[in-house]
Structure 1
Amino acid sequence: MKLDIRHWQMLKALSEVGHVAQAAEILGISQSALSHRIAEAERRLGGKLFEKEGRRLKLTPAGKLLTQVTLQTLPALARAEADFEQTADRESQVVRLGVASYSSYYWIPEFIKYVNQKASHLKLRLVASATQNPVSSLQHGSVDIVIAPGYLATPGIINTPLFMDELVLVTPYNHSLSHQAFINPQDLSEIQYYTYSQTVLPGFEYERFIRPSGVIPKQVEVVEMTDAIIELISAGLGVSILSKWAVSAALQSHRISSTQVGQQGLDLAWSALTRESEINNSPSKQIAKLLAAWYKQLN
């Protein structure tokens, strides 16, 4: 091989930020040292990896191909190291866990207690960044298991069913809409509506409830954190359609109210996502089985 691991790490850092100064900071080296490293890699390969585009560095077509391999290889190496450490030290195996779509962790303390009883060698570490990009977080190795709503049919990803949930209208406590048996799309037409994502997610409220009606809320604001949406709603500033499971702690404390969405309601299935490539009894797959068993006993 012509390149060393430090060159591959350089490609990854530069592909993520595009600026030499920021990439150098990520790598823990000076800008001058990074510039020398780029020149060294290009000299070894016999071609250009980057072109200047203003203050940024733009990958050449050949550089893009090499970087794509880098983004797949480095996470795989990191996972291999982590798997080795876990295999070598059976006393403590860390599993990095995230929750997709909703930043909701009220249930974590009770589940950790359950894990300690059933598999004390497994330790959970929360990864908040997995909320927005659950599949890529799994594929790139920054997280080991993700609890996700809906069904994500993705090659290389296994879905372990956990529990059934529903999407509900979340309003300030004792709001007039909370006294209805269910809401219609027209109920949202003139009210401040909060959503946590600009992306239309298959199987969620926009696709199944709002778009088919042709009635779009006039006042829509994107707030990317579920906790922040709950605070805004409890203060009387608007409404949203969210997972009932994700907001159950706020419902129990009477900070907010919920109402069924549509006459038939909107069900929502939750699953634990893990990598298919892992061995059958890997720590993350053990956690997936424990999650399924825990939610089964709760119901």
Structure 2
Amino acid sequence: MLDRHHLMILRAVDQQGSLTAAADTLCLTQSALSHSVRKLEQQLGTPVWQKEGRRLRLTQAGRYLLRLAERLLPQFEHAEAVMQQFASGERGTLRIGMECHPCYQWLLKIVNPYLQQWPDVDVDVRQKFQFGGMGALYGHEIDLLVTPDPLHRSGLVFEPVFDYEQVLVVGPEHPLYGQPQVEPKQLLNDTLITYPVEPERLDIFNSFLTSAGCAPRRHKQIETTDIMLQMVAAGRGVAALPRWLVSEYQQRLPLHPLQLGKSGVAKQIFLGLRKEDVETDYLNAFVELARQYNQPPA
């Protein structure tokens, strides 16, 4: 009754916005696509979408099938790609998802030796997912997830690969430059620069500021580490980053790291993978290689 073809149609219409564009994407005629959907609706006994002028609006049944398509189709596509790689003598593809913005530079140190050790494995790095990192793992969009905040769920395994300290970094004109640590109330008049992540997922908020009832005067989001730290060095704000990353940039920028509070904020980076993949040799090899870089070089 319901097969992969129907799910592909629903996803294509949702992505392309019209039957005509979806038909072109799927290499079908619009009449063939419409006929296929009408037949499905007859079999299901319920419509999957309704027309509103020139637009299509998914019904409750259609939204359910679209969510099913978004979960299942990536798994089909991944399985087909793996089979093609096996057929051509390749080992596979390692798709790495990043939920840790500053860890990208750490990851680069691992990818180069990994590619040399596993020449028949492709590596792909992804930073944006339709369902978030956990959903991407469950949905087979990625094979490994790099994250400082693992959510332990059934079917997933998270391996710790290195410890680090989250610190506040300031520029030479900041009043705290040269001081050993900072307290939450000392940031009330500052502009805090962070990556574009929800505040509740940022350590500077959930492990330092929020519990003290404090907030910076302004919160500014910047995507790239280079621009962020150039802004800090120029006195345009402060940022919270791993100490090891700040040490790397201190070689070319006037930056100073401060411990967050009396105890500091200790963190770990984890690699998450599906339990069904824990015996895959080239995945395990990446995890072991990552542990060799458990103290990223300054």
Q: Please tell me the TM-score bracket, short chain as reference.
A: 0.7 to 0.9
Match of residue 205 from structure 1: 204
Contact kept in structure 1, 2:163 and 2:294, CA below 8 Å = no
SS of corresponding position for 2:128: helix
1:92-111 equivalences under 5 Å are 92-102=91-101, 104-111=103-110
Matches of 2:30 and 2:156 in 1, distance apart?
A: 36
CA distance in 1, matches of 2:199, 2:153: 18
Distance 2:129 2:66 in 1: 22
Cα displacement (A) at 1:55? 6.0
Cα shift at 1:69: 2.0
Matching residue of 1:185: 184
- Aligned-partner SS, 1:253: coil
| Number of aligned residues | 294
Deviations 1:35-90 (A, max 9, x none): 76245313333131112457653321111222222122111112212332344455
Q: 1:297 to 1:177 in 2, by over 3 A?
A: closer
* Structure 1: runs of 5+ lacking an equivalent: none
- What's the counterpart of residue 27 of structure 1? 25
- The change in CA–CA distance for 1:149 and 1:135 in structure 2 (over 3 A counts) is same
Does the 8 Å CA contact 1:104/1:247 hold for their aligned counterparts?
no
Indicate conservation of the 8 Å contact 1:145/1:288, yes or no.
no
CA–CA separation in structure 1 for the residues paired with 2:170 and 2:296: 30
After TM superposition, the score normalised by the length of structure 1 is 0.82
Partner Cα separation in structure 2 for residue 227 and residue 53 of structure 1: 47
Partner of 2:261: 262
**Residues 248-275 of structure 1, C-alpha deviations (whole Å, 9 max, x = no match):** 5323333533211111000111011112
Residue in structure 1 matched with residue 140 of structure 2 by the alignment: 141
Aligned-partner Cα distance in 2 for 1:12–1:265: 47
The aligned counterpart of 1:9 is: 8
C-alpha distance in structure 2 between counterparts of 1:44 and 1:86, whole Å: 34
Cα-Cα RMSD: 3.3
What residue in structure 1 maps to residue 40 of structure 2?
44
SS at match of 2:280: coil
Separation of aligned partners in 1, 2:176 and 2:182? 7
2:58 corresponding residue in structure 1: 59
- Displacement after TM superposition at 1:171 (Å): 1.9
Distance change >3 Å, CA 208–CA 26, structure 1 → 2:
farther
Contact 1:98/1:146 (<8 A) preserved: yes
Of the structure 1 ranges 145-154 and 80-89, higher mean CA displacement relative to structure 2 is found in 80-89
C-alpha displacement at 1:293, in angstroms? 3.5
Q: Which runs of 5+ in 2 are unaligned?
A: none
Q: Helix, strand or coil: the match of 1:152?
A: coil
Distance between the aligned counterparts of 1:201 and 1:193, measured in 2? 15
**What is the rounded CA distance, in whole Å, between the counterparts of 2:13 and 2:25 in structure 1?**
10
1:138-173 Cα shifts (integer Å, max 9, x gaps): 222232212111332233221011000111112225
* Pairs within 5 Å for 1:70-219: 70-102=69-101, 104-129=103-128, 133-173=132-172, 175-196=174-195, 197-201=197-201, 204-219=203-218
TM-score, normalised by the number of residues in structure 2: 0.83
Match of 1:169, SS state, is: strand
